[in-house]
Amino acid sequence: MRSPARRALVAGSSALAVALLTAACSGGTPSGTAASFDPDEEVTLTVAWWGDDDRAARYTEALDLFTEQHPNVTIQRSFVAFDDYWTARATEAAGSSLPDVMQFDSSFLREYAGTGQLLDVSPYLGDEIDTSQLADELIDSGRIGDAVYAVPTATNTFASFYNPAVVEELGMEPPSEAYTWDELADWVAKASTAGADGDPVLYGSNDYTGVFWAFLQHLVQEGVTPFTDDGQLGFTREDMAAWLHTGDDLRSGGSFFPVQRQQQLAPEGGFTVNEQALEMSWDNFLAGYVASSGTDDITMLPVPSGSDGEKHMFARTFQMAASAHTEHPAAVAELLDFLVNEPEVGRIFGTSKGVPATQAQRDAMEIEPGSVDERVVAYEEEYADQITEPAPVPVEGFGALEAEFKRLGEELAYGNVTVDEFVEQWFSLAEDQLG
């Protein structure tokens, strides 16, 4: 009994090692050169994404259109929520059986690409995958060294959302576009004081210092590169502590939306139940905010300015990636091209994944005046000149580090940890993850 088990273990791990080795040598494609798409070969592809029913309906429509145009291709689909999605992918990656095509997030790029799980699509760029409408920096968001492991389908920018009805009820004016982080803190304090006697009690904001991307945005504004090229942290314990301390008065004064209530509302939040005036998030959240809150005129502002008065914003890309172990790389490339360039796909998805990366897809969107799509596009266009920085390329284990930041933020709000303990615990996980 013991020896077959051990043999299987050895066989399993050596198979994995061989697979990783092959992938590393060949850069992902079996031959190192691009195969071309054969329209007569019967091909079955698996496609996976995270998201809700709404997104699933959009994918279904888009993928049906693809199989209509390519009758030889059959597509098997699967989707789950974001967290479960990565659990499933990690397990598949361990068995070298990732789906052929996956919706992807750059937070996980280094883990998957660095271990030979993702297909290097660079041989197909400019060929099967038309790149004439893709800006170089968008392509670079999927690049590690000379290889490109993910293609951009849309862009997202960080923003402050406010609910005009709540702001008015508080008797306040929304923050001005030129606001700084200090002015934001003052504004939140005033708003929460004004809302304290309401029924329900209204608040200025949730604790934005516990939002990892807000911290990263702040670092970029102060000239700190959050993650270095060799995959290490570019900021110090002192940087993080200083950032968290900016929320001290608001936290002790009860000005942030209470964490207890936030826990109970999840997956909704204070902002979507119209009890909180402002929240920071990615601009493609607008559709969700409007739908959950039932408030049509949710408005977006750029993030607060850094100490030099500039915004230093960056755009992240929403990506698609492919498995290095796919049997049909040419068909995969064909599908990636379709998802990036096909105008109909732009119409189908709108801005639900962010602003489409190609002009053809942006033009194809049926934008009603005043619609969510229009406002998201307008936001990214209006502030395009302030989107001046490259998006931080996440380090390995970024997903876990972001989750830990959020967890510690809650502990901080409950008063269970001090800022110093927060920083200490976060860095201890980071050092563990980054080795």
Partner 1 sequence: MLLTAFPMVASLYLAFTDYDLFHDPSWIGLQNFRDLFADSRFWTSARVTAIYVLVGTPIKLAAALAVAMLLNMKHRGQGAYRSIFYAPSLIGASVSIAIVWKAMFIDDGIVDRIAQVFGAPAGGWVGDPSKTMPMFILLATWTFGAPMVIFLAGLKQVPAELYEAAAVDGAGPARKFWRITIPMLSPVLFFNLLLETIGAFQVFGSAFIISGGTGGPADSTLFYTLYLYIKGFAQFDMGYASAMAWVLVIVVGVITTILFKTSNAWVHYSGDNR
**Residues near partner 1, by CB under 8 A:** 1-2, 4-6, 8-9, 13, 16-17, 20, 83, 87, 90-91, 93-94, 111-112, 114-115, 117, 258-267, 397, 399-400, 403, 407, 410-411, 414, 416, 425, 429, 432-433
C-alpha to C-alpha distance for 168 and 428, rounded to whole angstroms? 44
Nearest one of 165, 249, 246 to 210, comparing CA atoms: 246
C-alpha to C-alpha distance for 26 and 374, rounded to whole angstroms? 44
How many other C-beta atoms can be found within 10 angstroms of the C-beta atom of residue 7? Answer: 10
Of 83 and 382, CB closest to partner 1: 83
C-alpha to C-alpha distance for 393 and 404, rounded to whole angstroms? 18
Of 55 and 261, CB closest to partner 1: 261
Give the shortest CB-44-to-partner 1 separation in angstroms. 26
Pair of tokens at residue 58: 């959009």
Give the shortest CB-181-to-partner 1 separation in angstroms. 27
Give the shortest CB-360-to-partner 1 separation in angstroms. 36
What 3-state DSSP class applies to 84? helix
Give the shortest CB-93-to-partner 1 separation in angstroms. 6
Of 10 and 178, CB closest to partner 1: 10
- H/E run at residue 204: strand 203-205
Nearest one of 333, 385, 335, 384 to 355, comparing CA atoms: 384
Give the shortest CB-417-to-partner 1 separation in angstroms. 9
The vertex-305 CA angle with 299 and 310, nearest 5°, equals: 115
Of 117 and 157, CB closest to partner 1: 117
Give the shortest CB-19-to-partner 1 separation in angstroms. 11
CA–chain centroid gap for 317, Å, is 7
Q: Are 194 and 186 in contact (CB under 8 A)?
A: no
Of 390 and 415, CB closest to partner 1: 415
- Across 224-249, b (16+ Cβ under 10 Å) vs e yields eebbeeebebebeeebbeebbeebee
Of 145 and 267, CB closest to partner 1: 267
Give the shortest CB-223-to-partner 1 separation in angstroms. 30
CA–chain centroid gap for 314, Å, is 12
Of 224 and 400, CB closest to partner 1: 400
